[in-house]
Structure 1
């Protein structure tokens, strides 16, 4: 990987439902040999607070329960040059932290290549 830092912001309605996901993703990142040299930060916050937190993160993933807000959130992210995607419903529902972490990594890699 061509980066030494990966700061991931997870957003949902209140930031609570993604809390479990944050814990799972942190566990996976900590045990990953591919990420051993990468400083990984993962936090969850309510989508309504995105403007307050976005500048501290590299990528934004939103819970599928708020995908109806994607375009509004994408506008904010685009203004700040931050990539954003909706988390896959199945991965979210099964708390598949590995797949969601991969999604964030791919977003970060694509962002790095674009710049």
Structure 2
């Protein structure tokens, strides 16, 4: 099982994205747990996170976040606006699968 955490400013838009990703993962029969939280809650959820996805509006925080979690085995990426804007859960899941290959 992979635990995926999405973060955004308040957790609302990432909540919609997470719901669409859960639907896409279920359709593909992937064993993913997908949660959405505000960036202020990030540290509370790191122990149970394998993959961290950042909303594009927080891309300016990517390096700071990577620095904070450098001692952990967590893959981190910013979700491109082209995926996040339309809340494209299927493409976000593909992004996660691609991250796992690298």
Q: TM-score, normalised by structure 2?
A: 0.92
Instruction: Please give the root-mean-square deviation of Cα atoms over the aligned residues, in Å.
Output: 1.2
| Regions of 4+ moved over 6 Å | none
Shift of 1:39: 2.2
What runs of 5+ residues in structure 1 fail to find an aligned partner? 111-115
DSSP-derived class of the 1:80 partner: coil
1:113 is matched with: none
2:14 is matched with: 18
- 1:75 maps to which of 62, 67, 76: 67
What runs of 5+ residues in structure 2 fail to find an aligned partner? none
Conservation of the 8 A alpha-carbon contact between 1:59 and 1:82: yes
> Whole-Å Cα distance in 2 between the matches of residues 78 and 108 of structure 1?
17
2:86 is matched with: 94
DSSP-derived class of the 1:78 partner: coil
- 2:77 maps to which of 85, 88, 96: 85
When Rg is computed on C-alpha atoms for both structures, the one with the higher figure is 1
1:106 is matched with: 98
Aligned length: 102
DSSP-derived class of the 2:99 partner: helix
